[in-house]
Structure 1
Amino acid sequence: MAEGTRPTPKTGRSLLYLTDEQLRRGIEAMFFAYRGFTADPDRILEEHGYGRAHHRTLHFIHRAPGTTVNNLLSILGVTKQSLNRVLRTLITDGLVESRVGTQDKRERHLYLTETGSELERQLSDAQRERMRAAYRAAGPEAVAGFRQVLEAMMDPDIRRHFNRLSDGGA
């Protein structure tokens, strides 16, 4: 075995006995991977004077056009005040359109404008390229395992949001 490499477990059973140090390394790997995953979008957002909250908002409006403010609050897990601050900026800057609900006039439905869709595409393209390269390097079994790990870490209510989005819903 080459220096610096570790044996790959043959089954999930050997992973049941991870040491605290191995778990700590996994936590650190996730932290640094997240930094890499957000680095390119952060540069794009900075050019526009936006932050990660703007990115998340654009992403989930893109994934579920017409989503309500309340649904977005639930997905993002932020306060109404925090989301309203972000939405106000995105609406003022012409990236998001808010429409009054047809059945319930109290609801506001959110849509990306053409400008908002373009920015969302730039941000997502940067992340897709990084993920595509990582997935290719890791291989299909690792990709499937990685997704299983991510889903297993989600709280049940968050997993329901994730599954709804994966199924094409909001």
Structure 2
Amino acid sequence: MVPDAIPALKAQQPGKDVLVEQPAYDLIELFFFAYRDFVSDPDRILDEYGFGRAHHRVLHFVSRQPGLTIAELLDILRITKQSLNRVLKELIEKDFIESRMGTSDRRQRLLFATSKGHDLALKLAKLQTRRIMRALSDMDPEAKETVSRYLLSLIDPDDNAHVKQLVFGPKKT
């Protein structure tokens, strides 16, 4: 049973921090379990290639934004250059991503998913979309918008506009 209200939270005012009397263990644990299952289908497929979740994230964003620079990808993923280099090297060596020289700045490296990389990214996205749509199918038609607003509100306020632009803004061509 899902509670109508969570007594651990005090009244919230828009734009203000929420005061917490006790941790919302139920929601925290639901997030843990939802994330576990959300990534489980892609994890099984990625394992066949010797890839992990870091590979998935890189492949996802490079496939969605062809021509993404390494600096932009680092900003999106918030990982170290060292971590990215290891994952990117594997994806390039196995022909899932290619790195091209920038047109205006030859020092810049632009990242593109190969057709093989795009196909894998699409396959993983479809698996996760199926899970999301199944969850939304039992809800009101407005649920997708509500869930989107909720997820955006979980993102740090100073990064919210940037994430909105990445998710909802025009894609690179």
RMSD in angstroms over aligned alpha carbons? Answer: 2.4
Larger relative contact order (CA 8 Å, sep ≥ 6): 1
What does residue 155 of structure 2 align with?
A: 154
What does residue 170 of structure 2 align with?
A: 168
1:15–1:26: structure 2 CA closer, same or farther, 3 Å change rule? farther
Provide, for residues 1-34 of structure 1, a one-character-per-residue CA deviation record: whole Å limited to 9, x for no partner.
xxx464479xxx9778997567221111111100
Query: For residues 56-135 of structure 1, what are the structure 2 equivalents within 5 Å?
Result: 56-135=57-136
Report how many aligned residue pairs link the two structures.
164
* Contiguous gaps of at least 5 residues in structure 1: none
1:62–1:158: structure 2 CA closer, same or farther, 3 Å change rule? farther
CA contact (8 A) 1:42 1:51 kept: yes
Tell me how far apart the structure 1 counterparts of residues 43 and 159 of structure 2 sit (CA, whole Å): 24
Tell me how far apart the structure 2 counterparts of residues 133 and 8 of structure 1 sit (CA, whole Å): 24
CA contact (8 A) 1:58 1:120 kept: yes
TM-score (norm 1): 0.86
1:45–1:5: structure 2 CA closer, same or farther, 3 Å change rule? closer
1:150–1:20: structure 2 CA closer, same or farther, 3 Å change rule? farther
Identity, in percent, stands at: 43
Query: For residues 30-45 of structure 1, what are the structure 2 equivalents within 5 Å?
Result: 30-45=31-46
Provide, for residues 84-138 of structure 1, a one-character-per-residue CA deviation record: whole Å limited to 9, x for no partner.
1110000000000100101011110000001101111111110010001111123
Greater Cα shift, 135-144 or 48-57: 135-144
CA contact (8 A) 1:75 1:158 kept: no
Q: Which amino acid aligns with 2:169?
A: D
Q: CA deviation at 1:159?
A: 2.0
Greater Cα shift, 140-149 or 103-112: 140-149
Tell me how far apart the structure 1 counterparts of residues 4 and 76 of structure 2 sit (CA, whole Å): 38
Q: Report the 3-state secondary structure (helix = DSSP H, G, I; strand = E; otherwise coil) of the residue aligned with 2:119.
A: helix
What does residue 26 of structure 1 align with?
A: 27
Greater fraction helix:
1
Q: Which amino acid aligns with 1:34?
A: Y
1:20–1:142: structure 2 CA closer, same or farther, 3 Å change rule? farther
Q: Report the 3-state secondary structure (helix = DSSP H, G, I; strand = E; otherwise coil) of the residue aligned with 1:97.
A: strand
TM-score (norm 2): 0.84
